[in-house]
Amino acid sequence: MNKKVLIVGGVAGGASAAARLRRLDESVEIIMFERDEYISFANCGLPYYIGETIKEREKLIVQTPESMKSRFNIDVRINSEVIGLDTAKKVATVKKKDNSIYEEPYDYVVLAPGAKAMKPPIEGINSQRILTLRNIPDTDQIKAYVDNEKTKSAVVIGGGFVGVEMAENLKHRGLEVTIVEAAPHVLAPFDTDIVGAVEKELTDRGVKLILNDGVKSFKELEDSVEINLNSGKALTADLVILAIGVIPDTGFLKNSGIQLGTKGHILVDEFLTTNAENVYAVGDAIEVVDFVNKQATTIPLAGPANKQARIAADNIAGLKTTYKGTQGTSILKVFGLTAASTGNNERTLNRLNIPYKTITIHPASHASYYPGGFMMTLKLIFNEEGKILGAQGVGSDGVDKRIDVIATVIRLGGTVTDLTELELCYAPPYSSAKDPVNMAGYVAENVLTDRVSNLPVEQFMKYDREDKILLDVRTEKEYNGGHLEGALNIPVDSLRERLGELDKTKEILEYCQIGLRGYVGSRFLTQNGYQVKNLTGGYKSFLMSPLNPACVAPVETTEKYIVDPDTQVVKTNGGEETSDYQKSHSDCGKCSE
């Protein structure tokens, strides 16, 4: 007798499970239920269609009921919502568009209901001008507002991935855009010292940011919405996008006997089976294991959903495949910047009391003497044994491949030493002989072997400076362009002949521009009997930090290179144009660790 498999929901999880199962077993009967008419679409592309980077709506549609039937012989039932599941009788209850209800028996079920936008009970939240983005109908509704020439302004509530992507695309359409975020910073997966660059890019491009403030109420006006914040501030906008997070769409499982987590996520084992016989679950609606810290968590991403779908199909077909956890590798475009992360950030590790170390570097995206390179920032998080716990990056070019490489090493259980040994492709237009990933490994290895004592920005700035020497080892010109208050300037190349100016009885707090010269200076000083703490990532990390309390020169004049947002030409502060970083070659991080 042939198996009968019901798949609840489409998109990444459901559609992938159906296609994989058919490829494995031609005889199985597969029925897919989708509550609306779109079973498989590029939900990550929806903001870019609204912003008209993606111009053709049909390009968002990955599969249709007709294509799934013709290629995979799958019975796709659109406008059909599964409203209940009797796991004892092995029957699903389905409501059709005309509100008629019927029961469908099964041998196996794959639950892929996904997650829906969070919509808390805030006064006025049901205004027709307050919209969420989850599917194609939502996209059509938002785009209709944006296409209307009367829509001039928008407020995005929530600074997560969807909120930031929507803000960028609404700005592309010419709207005045404000992001309201209740947390101190946007983009929770990124630590404070990395996300500052993203926030600066947003504000530089004209997006207003209101942080540490939440919504108290909404008020419908004649042709706009008033947003009243907890701080007492009031905003007015023609359109509001609600992007404060998602919750699992699992209400229909309330009386099914299937175990749910405290926030409604479906609990599954390593085979993605629930506690109910022959019932599997995948995607945004399930609780997963964090690959790094091994704790239960929820990470709603398309990549893991697709992988889980494949594994669930494998197990229905008898292949016994396991899911080993989610590490949360993610990336987004923010105007001219790319921000990417993998693994755990500092907040997660601190919450779980997991000890760690960090290093930050600012390498060039490719060989600094080849035109068109851009500086990026890479942060590596690791433990005493050198095992990599996480990484974050931000920059104009090359960030994606570096975080992907580190994500791969994490997945394989690698260490910082593995990063130093990776043989990555090199030619001047693409990288340096020592790739930024290698450089991150070298710097981390130096920390672990006590060749240098690095302090992150926050610790460096809060470090007790009484009876300490604050030493700036950059050039005099760089020092005059901006420095930490109270710093003594001795360029690294002059340290040997000016060593007598430093009191050996005092600890030295040292920094350079991006960390390289600080390391060189630290090695020289420690071998001459000095105690040295070095600022990881150098003055550049300080400039990116929200601390930034004591610049002698204004922050905006201390950047040696500025990227013109329109032409992407790199300029010096004096206006002189250059297409690369060769003028700062001595500190680009290419020549030595």
- Other CB atoms within 10 Å distance of the CB of residue 269: 12
Task: Sort 437 into a burial class: Cβ within 10 Å, 0-12 / 13-18 / 19+.
Answer: buried
Apex 251 CA angle, 247 and 254, nearest 5? 130
Tokens at 402, concatenated: 């570096």
Distance CA 305, CA 266 (A): 14
Tokens at 569, concatenated: 């030409």
Strand partners, 472: 489, 511
Torsion over CA: 356, 492, 554, 168 (sign): negative
Taking a C-beta distance cutoff of 8 angstroms, is the pair 280, 312 a contact? Answer: yes
Distance (Å) of CA 118 to CA 38, 134, 158, 325: 21, 11, 11, 25
Return phi, psi of residue 582, to 5°.
-65, -20
311 closest CA partner among 300, 325, 299, 297: 325
Distance CA 419, CA 424 (A): 10
Distance CA 5, CA 558 (A): 62
Distance CA 489, CA 487 (A): 6
- Is 551 considered catalytic here? no
| DSSP-based three-state secondary structure for 509 | strand
Tokens 């292949």 belong to 319
Task: Sort 358 into a burial class: Cβ within 10 Å, 0-12 / 13-18 / 19+.
Answer: buried
Tokens at 44, concatenated: 């990550």
Distance (Å) of CA 591 to CA 170, 286, 439: 42, 47, 10
Taking a C-beta distance cutoff of 8 angstroms, is the pair 157, 163 a contact? Answer: yes
307 closest CA partner among 282, 288, 287, 328: 282
Helices vs strands, H then E, count in the chain: 15, 36
Which residues are catalytically annotated? 44
